[in-house]
């Protein structure tokens, strides 16, 4: 009976290969089977709950019991459950792994392409991040609190997304607040496409990042620096030039995979520059391309764009800077050049960098920041700032500790961290935190230990 309203940022059953479980079925599990199936496999309007993370299941049951998540079916079922009952149910269903049986879904080529785009890239123009950004590279969920989308029925997901759209601004607990913001950017056509694409995925099928076919229809024109939009990925040309642009885009999104020799922590370029460097107010790469060469107070000289990128590898990625003529550097610069197509040079475009914040009403407070972090950030970044991974892939970056950016990174500056958080966090729902909350949580994050500044410890210079 665990009838959850689909979360897109937090929902449903993770898919795992094991078919055995050691947890005995509690007596109350029989009531759940009436709607969710004997093995928790779900179907139709009922979600698949088998294999869900234990903590996610426990939280959802508690939300239903308390009324924080109103549901006329679940509240009568959960109102008399004790904490021990909830722990037993969650433990039992988290160990069940019924056969994965995706339904046949009729999708047109256009619907499938749009669904795949939303799953793997999102639609940041409408504030919709990729589903894989939170739910993992195979949509199998990110423990302990973000459930899987894989294995859910199209009907259940469609109903859930539309229900969340109706809750926009009225959600009563934090995870659903995020999703009510995210789904506000989805049209009915988008919901049809994305739920159909997910429901059509086969067992262990990992959604792949699709390079859109270039049809030659996009026309490049000069744009105002006060309202610039980079060209769509569908405008990346065919041939060697387009291949180099796409290579740069893939390095930017998953730097740890495609430029592993230069990365020393668990961050990617896209960890701080959202939408693969396209998003305004997230230090977009189109603004960086037209800004360099320029003087930087960090090293007291004029820097080229290549030198600026090298600093990102050295400080933000705590790694080894690639040489200016390395294949990785060439591809990244070419990608940035293409993003800036049509942008005038000579002035700073609107949306460059992170918008500066006014001074807080009160001095930043670490104790308040700790509480804000626990309520709004720990779900994704971990209670100890360690980040979250899923099946060998880093989903959310660590914010402190040995695998995070070092003390020489720009994000270590309180003002920079606060500006980034205000404009871009929580992920997919920027604006939920007040200015004071942003300053407090930024101070809490930067107060933690992290790798030292390599300038003070003889760190690497340039790698080839």
Angle at 395 between CA 392 and CA 397, to 5 degrees: 110
pLDDT of residue 200 exceeding 60: yes
Q: Give the position of tokens 């759940």.
A: 32
Mean of the per-residue pLDDT values for the chain?
90
**Is 90 exceeded by the pLDDT of residue 345?**
no
Q: What are phi and psi of 397, to 5 degrees?
A: -75, 150
Instruction: Give me the residue label for tokens 């997901």.
Output: 157
User: CA-CA distance, 157 to 100, in Å (whole number)?
Assistant: 17
CATH number for the domain whose boundaries are 366-455: 1.10.760.10
pLDDT at 2 over 50: no
Find out whether 457 and 378 touch, Cβ atoms under 8 Å: no
Domain parsing of the chain, residue ranges: 29-200, 233-339, 366-455
pLDDT in tens, 42-56: 999 999 999 888 999
Contacts of 76 (CB under 8 A, 6+ apart): none
Report pLDDT for 9: 35
**In sequence order, what E strands does 297-444 have?**
301-303, 388-390, 393-396
* Contact yes or no for 9/134 (Cβ under 8 A): yes
Alpha-helical segments (H) within 312-377: 327-339, 366-376
Question: Which of these ranges, 128-142, 207-221, 336-350, 379-393, has the smallest mean pLDDT?
Answer: 207-221
Q: Name the 3-class secondary structure at 30.
A: helix
Across the range 159-174, mean pLDDT stands at 84
Indicate if the pLDDT at residue 7 is higher than 60. Answer: no
Give the Cα separation of 114 and 122 in Å (integer): 9
pTM of this structure: 0.89
CA–CA gap between residue 164 and residue 69 (Å, rounded):
12
pLDDT at 13 over 50: no
Average pLDDT, stretch 236-254? 95
| Secondary structure E strands in 84-203 | none
158: left (phi over 0), alpha (psi -120 to 50) or beta: alpha
- Exposed (0-12), middle (13-18) or buried (19+): which is 372, by Cβ within 10 Å? buried
Using CA atoms, how far apart are residues 154 and 47, in angstroms rounded to an integer? 10
The CATH superfamily label for domain 29-200 reads: Cytochrome c-like domain (1.10.760.10)
pLDDT tops 50 at residue 176: yes
In the numeric block, the tokens 């290549």 are attached to 306
Q: Given a cut of 60, is residue 14 above it in pLDDT?
A: no
Domain 29-200 and domain 233-339 have a common topology = yes
Pairing of strands 388-390, 393-396: antiparallel
Contact 152, 11 (CB under 8 A): yes
β-sheet bridge partners, residue 128: 123
Give the residue with greater pLDDT, 69 vs 93.
Answer: 93
pLDDT at 15 over 60: no
For 234-314, strand residue ranges (E) read: 294-296, 301-303
Assigned CATH topology for domain 233-339:
Cytochrome Bc1 Complex; Chain D, domain 2 (1.10.760)
289 forms bridges with which residues in the sheet?
none
- Give long-range contacts, CB 8 A cutoff, 24+ apart: 82-88: 85/26, 85/28, 86/58, 86/61, 86/62, 87/58, 88/26, 88/28
């Amino acid at each position: 009976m665990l009838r959850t309203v689909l979360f897109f940022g937090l929902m449903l059953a993770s898919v795992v290969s094991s078919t055995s479980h050691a947890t005995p079925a509690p007596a109350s599990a029989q009531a759940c089977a009436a709607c969710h199936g004997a093995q928790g496999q779900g179907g139709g309007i009922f979600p698949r709950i088998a294999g869900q993370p234990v903590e996610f299941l426990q939280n959802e049951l508690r939300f239903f019991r308390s009324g924080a998540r109103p549901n006329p079916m679940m509240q009568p079922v959960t109102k008399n459950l004790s904490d021990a009952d909830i722990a037993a149910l969650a433990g039992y269903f988290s160990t069940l792994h019924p056969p994965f049986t995706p339904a046949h879904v009729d999708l047109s080529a256009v619907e499938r392409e749009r669904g795949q785009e939303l799953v793997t890239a999102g639609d940041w123009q409408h504030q919709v991040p990729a589903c894989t950004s939170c739910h993992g590279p195979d949509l199998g969920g990110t423990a302990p609190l973000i459930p899987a989308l894989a294995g859910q029925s199209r009907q259940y997901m469609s109903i859930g997304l539309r229900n969340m759209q109706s809750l926009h601004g009225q959600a009563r607990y934090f995870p659903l607040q995020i999703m009510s913001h995210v789904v506000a950017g989805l049209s009915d056509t988008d919901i049809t496409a994305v739920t159909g694409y997910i429901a059509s995925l086969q067992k262990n099928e990992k959604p792949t990042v699709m390079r859109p076919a270039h049809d030659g229809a996009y026309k490049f024109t000069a744009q105002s620096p006060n309202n610039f939009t980079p060209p769509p990925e569908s405008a990346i040309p065919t041939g060697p030039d387009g291949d180099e642009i796409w290579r740069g885009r893939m390095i930017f999104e998953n730097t740890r995979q495609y430029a592993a020799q230069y990365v020393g922590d668990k961050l990617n370029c896209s960890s701080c520059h959202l939408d693969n460097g396209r998003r305004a107010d997230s230090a977009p790469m189109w603004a960086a391309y037209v800004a360099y060469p320029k003087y930087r107070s960090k090293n007291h000289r004029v820097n080229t764009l290549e030198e600026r990128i090298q600093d990102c590898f050295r400080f933000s990625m705590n790694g080894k800077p690639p040489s200016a003529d390395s294949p990785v550097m060439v591809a990244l610069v070419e990608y940035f050049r293409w993003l800036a197509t049509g942008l005038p040079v000579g002035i700073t475009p609107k949306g460059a960098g992170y918008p500066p914040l006014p001074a807080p009403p009160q001095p930043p407070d670490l104790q308040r920041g700790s509480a804000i972090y626990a309520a709004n950030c720990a779900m994704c970044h971990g209670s100890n700032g360690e980040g979250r991974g899923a099946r060998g892939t880093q989903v959310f970056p660590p914010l402190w500790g040995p695998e995070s950016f070092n003390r020489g990174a720009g994000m270590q500056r309180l003002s920079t961290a606060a500006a980034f958080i205000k404009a871009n966090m929580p992920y997919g729902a920027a604006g939920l935190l007040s200015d004071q909350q942003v300053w407090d949580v930024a101070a809490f994050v930067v107060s933690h230990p992290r790798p030292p500044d390599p300038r003070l410890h003889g760190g690497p210079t340039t790698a080839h």
